[in-house]
Amino acid sequence: MALKLYYSPGACSFAVHVLLEEIGQPFTQECVSIPQGMTSSAGFLRINPKGRVPVLVVGAEVLTELPAILLYLALRHPEGNWLPTAHPMALARCAEWFNWLSGTVHTMAVGQVWQAGRFIGEPCLEAQVEAKGRINLTQAFERIEGHLSREPYAVGRQYSAVDPYLHGLSISSLDSACATTGGPARSETCART
Ligand SMILES: N[C@@H](CCC(=O)N[C@@H](CS)C(=O)NCC(=O)O)C(=O)O
């Protein structure tokens, strides 16, 4: 089935690129540049009314939300062992990472830094939200760095669909948002993915 990825350079959609390249299945792609405001264009909102990348079109299905896309690709290609489906605890750990990365790190901390206006109605208070976001993001990256200094991958000793998400967060422009980025353990993981 034909696959098409909507992405923005330097955004979290890079994680889908990584997994698609590892899978090795051909796909088409279309750039929806966030800096150029293309995620808010009428054309893109018809595809994803939430106005976010990544979007993966699979035949007639339009799939949004990064964890859902990584999950779909990993399940569709079991030959790559990108999800530990035979091990309930390890699989639950993947869900644990997906929830935390998507909800706490990406939506909350990253959102506070880059889109403070989404969190507060008073423009004069946005700088405070952004400052708190930088603290939240720094703490999150420290947590990730600490984990990866003890373990080779996000979940146990096996590369999984969670690792491209970590890679995407690490290489993206989000890194410039906080002080403790690109630590040795995360850099090592990026080099492996
Ligand atoms: N919950 C969504 C969030 C995706 C998201 O926030 N994507 C950002 C890029 S990293 C985006 O498209 N931002 C566009 C905008 O804020 O206008 C997911 O997990 O896919």
Q: Is the preceding peptide bond at 54 cis, omega within 30 degrees of 0?
A: yes
Is 39's C-beta closer than 6 angstroms to any atom of ligand 1? Answer: yes
Ligand 1: centre distance to CA 152 (Å): 27
Q: What totals of helices (H) and strands (E) does the chain contain, helices first?
A: 8, 4
pLDDT, position 172: 59
Q: Which of 6, 12, 38 to mutate to test the pocket of ligand 1 (most atoms within 8 A of CB)?
A: 12
Is 52's C-beta closer than 6 angstroms to any atom of ligand 1? Answer: yes
CA dihedral 111, 127, 140, 169 (to 10 degrees): 40
Ligand 1 atom, smallest distance to 172 CA:
10
Ligand 1 atom, smallest distance to 114 CA:
16
Is 65's C-beta closer than 6 angstroms to any atom of ligand 1? Answer: yes
Is 83's C-beta closer than 6 angstroms to any atom of ligand 1? Answer: no
Cα-based angle 34, 70, 154 (whole degrees, multiple of 5): 105
pLDDT tier, 173 (very low <50, low <70, confident <90, very high otherwise)? very low
Q: Which residue has the tokens 């980025």?
A: 181
Average pLDDT of the chain is 90
Do 188 and 96 sit in the same domain of this protein? yes
92: helix, coil or strand?
A: helix
Last residue of a domain, one of 45, 80, 115: 80
Do 126 and 63 sit in the same domain of this protein? no
The Cα–Cα gap between 149 and 186 comes to 8
Is 48's C-beta closer than 6 angstroms to any atom of ligand 1? Answer: no
CA 37, chain centre distance (Å) = 19
pLDDT tens readout for residues 97-137: 999 999 999 999 999 998 999 999 999 999 999 999 999 99
Statement: residue 188 has pLDDT above 70: no
The Cα–Cα gap between 165 and 144 comes to 12
- Please report, rounded to a whole number, the percentage of residues in the chain having pLDDT higher than 70: 88
Q: What integer is the mean pLDDT of 142-149?
A: 93
Domain residues for the domain of 159 are: 88-192
Ligand 1: centre distance to CA 18 (Å): 17
By DSSP bridging, strand 28-31 and strand 3-7 are parallel
Provide the number of structural domains found in the chain. Answer: 2
Of 68-77, 113-122, 166-175, the range with the lowest mean pLDDT is 166-175
Ligand 1: centre distance to CA 86 (Å): 31
pLDDT, position 1: 84
Ligand 1: centre distance to CA 63 (Å): 13
Last residue of a domain, one of 46, 80, 114: 80
The Cα–Cα gap between 43 and 41 comes to 5
The Cα–Cα gap between 155 and 189 comes to 12
Tokens encoding 150: 């003890």
Do 96 and 20 sit in the same domain of this protein? no
Q: DSSP letter at 177?
A: G
Is 12's C-beta closer than 6 angstroms to any atom of ligand 1? Answer: yes
The Cα–Cα gap between 191 and 167 comes to 9
Residue nearest to ligand 1 atom 11, measured at CA: 52
Do 76 and 92 sit in the same domain of this protein? no
Do 50 and 105 sit in the same domain of this protein? no
Q: Give φ, ψ of 56 to 5 degrees.
A: -115, 120
